[in-house]
Homo-oligomer: A and B are copies of this chain.
Amino acid sequence: MADLLVFGSIAYDCIETPTASEDYILGGSASYAALAASYFAPVKISGIVGADFKPSDLERFRARQINISGLEYSGKPTFFWRGRYHDNFNSRDTLELRLNAFEGYVPQLPPSCADAEYVLLGNISPDHQKKVLESVKNPKFVVLDTMNFWIETALDSLVEMVGRADLFIVNDSEAKMLSQERNIILAGRKLRKMCPGAVIVKTGEYGAMLFHKDGFFVVPAYPVSDLHDPTGAGDSFAGALAGYLAGIEKTDFASIKKAMVYGAATASITVESFSCYKLEMTGRQEIERRAKYIKEISQF
């Protein structure tokens, strides 16, 4: 097993869904991704938290054997996001966003994290992602995640990072936006030309598609009927996927396909509760059960 470095945001979220709401709950791309990855490989989390960050939330990472030596601490409050999901759970509005600790942040990766071979650059500014990647001594496999906000506000930096990634993950609307294609297949193929490795286009409740030099692959989503909060689904998918690859130390086409199945299985657990509650409490056994079920429903 190789170590996986997970870098991204660590946040407090206030979330409203059509059926419920919760305030100041642990969120952020690195939180979800690190917890998801922790079921598959030794994880080191990196990012910055604020003065208000609760020791009990640090304990949640430690409880999953996540190495927190790469965390930095700011005198400002923790990154804050308030969002509201629309009636169909598929789209959302950002009601409030405070960068707080991330304002003016220049990541300083400690030596304890700089020798990771597997790196997941979770959704955050591509400039932050770049700074961290440049601090990693000898990265073997780099997974890059992003979101529409960075396509709109930091396109050049993002495109540069896509060019350095081994696996780039986006959702379908972001893939179309970034490629300027209407068709998801054309979008995926065009992004593959921008990324030396492979591209995964996530399709939400439908699953995800892999565009790889050795072939095309589609994994269905695990059928979720008890959806509580979609936040962190993509981060959990990326985390479990990168964790699985680090865990088996393989990154070929067949391995990425299997990693996507584990990503889909793990993401389906995340959305069945607010925050990381269900993700951190559910064992590998339930992930394995869901991965097996995904295989079952896609065979004929």
- B-facing mask of A191-205, CB < 8 A → 1, else 0? 000000000000101
Closest B residue to A203 by CB, please name it: B206
- Which of A44-52, A146-154, A179-187, A241-249 has 4 or more CB atoms under 8 Å from chain B? A179-187
Q: Is the CB of A225 within 8 A of B183?
A: yes
Within 8 Å of chain B (Cβ to Cβ): is A89? yes
Q: Is the CB of A223 within 8 A of B217?
A: no
Q: Is the CB of B297 within 8 A of A215?
A: yes
A143 to B206, CA, bound (A): 24
Q: Is the CB of B297 within 8 A of A217?
A: yes
- The one of B206, B218, B227 in contact with A297, judged by C-beta atoms closer than 8 angstroms, is B218
Closest B residue to A205 by CB, please name it: B184
Max count, chain B CB within 10 A of own CB: residue among A88, A183, A186: A183
List the interface of chain A (C-beta within 8 A of B): 18, 87-89, 176, 182-186, 189, 203, 205-207, 209, 215-220, 223-225, 227, 254, 257-258, 260-261, 295-300
A-B pairs, 6 with minimum CB distance: A218-B220, A206-B206, A257-B300, A185-B223, A185-B225, A298-B298
20 contacts across the A-B interface (CB closer than 8 A): A87-B182, A88-B182, A89-B183, A183-B205, A183-B224, A183-B225, A189-B225, A203-B206, A206-B207, A207-B218, A207-B220, A209-B223, A216-B297, A217-B297, A217-B298, A217-B300, A218-B220, A220-B298, A261-B300, A298-B298
